[in-house]
Chain A
Amino acid sequence: MWVWFHKLGSPPYFYRLSSRLLPWLAVATLISFVVGTIWGLFYAPSDYQQADTSRIMYIHVPAAMFSMSIYMVIAAAGAVTLIWRIKLADLVAAASAPIGASYTFIALITGSLWGRTMWGDTYWEWTDPRLMSELILFFLYLGYMALNAAFEDRRRAARAAAVLALVGVVNIPIIHYSVEWWTSLHQGSTTRGMQFAATIYPSMRYPLYLMMLAFAFFYAQLMFKNTRCLLLESERNNSWVKEMVTQHDAA
């Protein structure tokens, strides 16, 4: 396991591995998105209280879930950067940030549109803890990306961004438990462990699982792509990059 972990930290190994995985991830992303969307929009039943508006769930829930998960990936990679100084961990974190920010943006927009139909005549409530903590997560992503871009020295940028990512982790349990700790317009948590299976009927749960998979595959695919770009930028003068470009040209 540790041997594989160390091997994964090697840029040429990572690049070759991602080249093999990317086509499969692209196919898995496309299939799960197409099937999940059609299933969620056309075949899953509508909710008895919210009617067809509940179909927003198939994008809002996975986007919100992965907005938090990706931040945890960034924080974990930040810890690896600070402790073991593995360069690839920093690049994975930097590559994940724009995807996490996009997922958070989607969660905020779809949540706002869903809220407009369910809560009455408002798109946004400034005093709501769930909405505000998710908005703070979006700003944390923007801050992380800005900090990464602010330093010319890549290692200093990586360390500063890693510290911000680790400090920002405190927001993740706040987002998750905000609906229990405070009064919120947002509904209570349904996606917690075994409870999840009991609170959503299978005909709505399975398309939701599929859309979660789609968001996960999409993240993995773009994370690999963005990390490869950062690797190419930082290692463009290394021999393995030149050899790889020669092979790419020949192909």
Chain B
Amino acid sequence: MTLPEWMDFGKWTPFIWWCYVVTAVVLISIGILSYRKEHRLLRNIAQQKRREHRGAS
């Protein structure tokens, strides 16, 4: 069975793959870091608020 031309990934040089892989890794990494940082900050502030609340009562 022969693959359609657009699925013939072997015709591309490894350089094309490396470009897309590096881009995906960089963008996904900075995306995950940002989302995790905000999540962590919100959790810390909520914990701090609960501690203050317990201290006051």
Contact = CB atoms under 8 A, between A and B. Distances in A.
Contacts of A106: 22-23, 26-27
Contacts of B11: 52
B34 A59 contact: no
A236 B37 contact: no
A226 B30 CA distance: 10
Interface of B is mostly: helix
Nearest to B34: A225
Contacts of B42: 232, 245, 248
Contacts of A63: 23
A218 B48 CA distance: 32
B27 A110 contact: no
Contacts of B35: 225
Contact of B13 (A37, A41, A42, A117): A117
Interface residues of A, number: 38
A128 B6 CA distance: 35
Interface string A52-64: 1101100110010
A105 interface: yes
A228 B46 contact: no
B22 A109 contact: yes
A119 interface: no
Contacts of A56: 15-16, 19
A59 B26 contact: no
B20 A246 contact: no
Interface in B1-29: 6-7, 11-13, 15-16, 18-20, 22-23, 26-27
A59 B46 contact: no
Contact of A229 (B16, B20, B23, B34): B34
A232 B6 contact: no
A105 B35 CA distance: 21
Given A52-B13, A106-B22, A229 B37 contact: yes
Kindly list the 5 A-B residue pairs having the minimum CB-CB distance in the complex, ordered from nearest: A225-B34, A110-B19, A113-B15, A232-B41, A42-B6
Interface of B: 6-7, 11-13, 15-16, 18-20, 22-23, 26-27, 30-31, 34-35, 37-38, 41-42, 45-46, 48-49
